[in-house]
Chains A and B, each alone.
Chain A
């Protein structure tokens, strides 16, 4: 089942020539917020659809688009039942091969635990070691973050030819806050003019070789007492 989940959610990523991934995290001063995740494969429709048309590839069953959709929806349904999670939305645009996921959370810890629980549920309770990774932490002043859970597991499954295909892809990590950012650990991080949002964009191939490229710490200015 683990393989199926990985295949369902990441097959498109593994074998696509041009991939765009966006994760967008909004954190309010009270620790609540919104998490959005977008997978855009519209630039590789021929490649991805040709793979989805196969029964199997390298001896592994290729799930149909319907099966992938079903799994993603089932994941979203389960996430809705997790404490501290509201407004879960999973939008799958099959014709453009775009998946948009978003949810509101009461706290970063609850988001973390909810995602972990839902992925475990999808994997029939079987442990996935990557879930133990702490990819997100927030103490009210500093946001420390990496790539979301599971994204790391793909690298072991990729073949050299497929790695080449990632060269044209991008991973964008965006963070929104209620108050201005003081500074970001990664100098490549872009801040918007009001300094309430940060953006870090990396190449998926480089990211595969070096996960720390997206690892970042965002330091916020103190909350002003009114």
Chain B
């Protein structure tokens, strides 16, 4: 009761003083809210737009006219929060940010492409620039972009196109579609082709039609062709969606702050930044679930129910030379019971032996797969069994039979669930290369295989195991298949396993099965690092914390990490943190059936602006949550 009164007071307080967060649409699924904007005053607009999280509001907002301007020059009220949000539904995506306005004249010197448009809402001014919309109410602003989904635009366009009696709009059937025509030169604007090849140019003369038969304009110039119609539909849908969203905000007075007390409560925390991600709504909007929704609606409902209350909330706390990020992952009771069982596991002390003191980065993950399986079986099977569907019934039968027939002791003793990983920087790895040598008499050349060394990041990944005989069976038989598998006294080696060049070592000892490309670990430390292992103090800390622990020395790890070995998204994430020097610690608390807390501490050194550090961190989180 006391809490409820407090919450009401908080909400009333928030309502009395119009703040930027009141303009966050309730459809927002992810929100970053930065409280202490003073930190960011020195950051130039040009620097700000370089962050990935700003991509959503499009860089064209900040064109050449904003160069050398800082946030301070933009008429922004630094006593209000800056909230960056993103949301997605089946039919559209929305993104934008809300902020306080102190001086609208200065604001429009930055947002100089916007022109005022009619607003039907009292006290609300509306401005537009291409697809971006700026809405100002009192001293708060909402900058928003709303994009209808391609599917919904196509469906509406096709419907109107065919209703008008038009035929299939594309000249060629898909059966003649040739992937080659999508080669980049077709769209290469800088193409200055001179078809000198006679044969080729003759062919062009004989077939002057473009590769695609684009829909042609009707004889009546007032009649739109397919793509013109599609553009119109897109614009209309955007306007309709925006109108719906603004009606919700300004007529029904709905917003995320009002409609989600968890978000409202989070904003009361005394911290510099807040993170909100409603996973249950992400689940609803996941495109891959349409099959369940349409074919097995009751199963979809049940699974959705499992995800009810699944939300991630976070606080960013800036200290003098460190940033704390406190995250709470909340979930419904059923799903929580699975997590609770899964995380009810003691830390495997063997793991610490294989993490070297001074390691640039490591993580430990401590779970009990057996308990998690039993609980998940208990929770999920009744849901699956209650569904009246022939395919699903067969799957349920298979699952039940496997549950009865499979030796679960052997299975979960082989893969218990606990694991660890380390990154020990870049080392020289021995490889083989082909050398061409020359006969000094004739300058004819021959080939010979010689040793080479190449740089490679050194990784180790290990799993807790009780049945070390099972991997031995697998490895023994693999070594019969190929001579690349070799057994040594303390380890196995798989030659050329990594990128066809470097060996992979496997250590099957001390109730651990370890993969590594670290020759030193395999040959000299197959029983662990002994006195060189993680210090006792850190081992105790890991033991005391929850299922997850991590450590990253940024200067030692990321700055040396070859990001071109990663895919584009992960590479972006690493690059956003590169150039920093600091240490990052991650740990989780004990898991209950309602929530798990994660604590990330980022200590940085040097004279860097803490606001930039904050933005870098937000950016990393943003890329991670995309």
A contact set with B: CB distance below 8 Å: 1-4, 17-18, 20, 22, 24, 38, 40, 42-47, 49-51, 53-57, 95-96, 98, 120-121, 124-127, 174, 176, 190, 192-194, 197-199
Q: In whole angstroms, what is the CA distance A20 to B429 when docked?
A: 20
A3: B residues at CB distance < 8 A: 184
Q: In whole angstroms, what is the CA distance A130 to B441 when docked?
A: 35
Contacts A45-B431, A197-B442 given; does A55 touch B568 at CB 8 Å: yes
Residues B424-452 near A (CB distance < 8 A):
429, 431-434, 436, 438, 440-443, 445, 452
Question: Quick one: CB contact mask for B564-579 with A, threshold 8 Å, 1 for yes?
Answer: 1101100000000000
B454 touches A2 (CB 8 A): no
Q: Does B500 contact A (CB under 8 A)?
A: yes
Measured between C-beta atoms, what is the minimum distance from B405 to chain A in Å?
Answer: 39
B501 touches A49 (CB 8 A): yes
B434 touches A42 (CB 8 A): yes
B438 touches A46 (CB 8 A): no
> Can you list 22 residue pairs at the A/B interface with Cβ under 8 Å?
A3-B184, A4-B184, A38-B436, A40-B434, A42-B432, A43-B431, A43-B452, A45-B433, A45-B499, A46-B501, A49-B499, A50-B499, A50-B564, A50-B565, A55-B568, A98-B434, A120-B196, A121-B197, A125-B199, A126-B191, A126-B195, A193-B440
A43 touches B564 (CB 8 A): no
Question: Quick one: CB contact mask for B172-206 with A, threshold 8 Å, 1 for yes?
Answer: 00000000000111000001011111011100000
The number of residue pairs between A and B whose CB atoms lie closer than 8 Å in the complex comes to 99
Tally of contact residues, B, Cβ under 8 A: 38
B443 touches A174 (CB 8 A): yes
A124: B residues at CB distance < 8 A: 185, 200
Contacts A22-B436, A125-B196 given; does A46 touch B185 at CB 8 Å: no
Q: In whole angstroms, what is the CA distance A57 to B568 when docked?
A: 7
A121: B residues at CB distance < 8 A: 197
A127 touches B454 (CB 8 A): no
Q: In whole angstroms, what is the CA distance A53 to B438 when docked?
A: 33
Contact of B184 among A1, A40, A51, A56 (CB under 8 A): A1
B500 touches A53 (CB 8 A): no
6 extra A-B contacts, CB within 8 A, seeds A43-B433, A46-B454, A46-B456: A4-B184, A24-B445, A50-B499, A50-B565, A53-B499, A190-B443
B436 touches A1 (CB 8 A): no
A45 touches B185 (CB 8 A): no
Measured between C-beta atoms, what is the minimum distance from A215 to chain B in Å?
Answer: 19
A120: B residues at CB distance < 8 A: 196-197
Q: Does B390 contact A (CB under 8 A)?
A: no
Contact of B441 among A44, A125, A190, A194 (CB under 8 A): A194
B436 touches A20 (CB 8 A): yes
Measured between C-beta atoms, what is the minimum distance from A121 to chain B in Å?
Answer: 8
Classify the interface of chain A: helix, strand, loop or mixed. mixed
A174: B residues at CB distance < 8 A: 443, 445
A176 touches B429 (CB 8 A): no
B499 touches A40 (CB 8 A): no
B196 touches A4 (CB 8 A): no
Measured between C-beta atoms, what is the minimum distance from B208 to chain A in Å?
Answer: 16
Q: In whole angstroms, what is the CA distance A134 to B499 when docked?
A: 39
Residue from the set A4, A121, A194, A197 with the largest chain B CB neighbour count within 10 Å: A197
Residue from the set A20, A47, A53, A190 with the largest chain B CB neighbour count within 10 Å: A47
Residue from the set A46, A47, A55, A199 with the largest chain B CB neighbour count within 10 Å: A46
A126: B residues at CB distance < 8 A: 185, 191, 193-195
Q: In whole angstroms, what is the CA distance A22 to B443 when docked?
A: 12
Question: Quick one: CB contact mask for B35-57 with A, threshold 8 Å, 1 for yes?
Answer: 00000000000000000000000
Contact of B568 among A53, A56, A190 (CB under 8 A): A56
Q: Does B498 contact A (CB under 8 A)?
A: yes
Contact of B454 among A40, A43, A56, A193 (CB under 8 A): A43
Chain B residue nearest in CB terms to A55: B567
Residue from the set B183, B200, B434, B440 with the largest chain A CB neighbour count within 10 Å: B434
Contact of A47 among B200, B443, B454 (CB under 8 A): B454
B443: A residues at CB distance < 8 A: 174, 176, 190, 192, 197-199
B195: A residues at CB distance < 8 A: 125-126
A42: B residues at CB distance < 8 A: 432-434, 452
Question: Quick one: CB contact mask for B144-156 with A, threshold 8 Å, 1 for yes?
Answer: 0000000000000
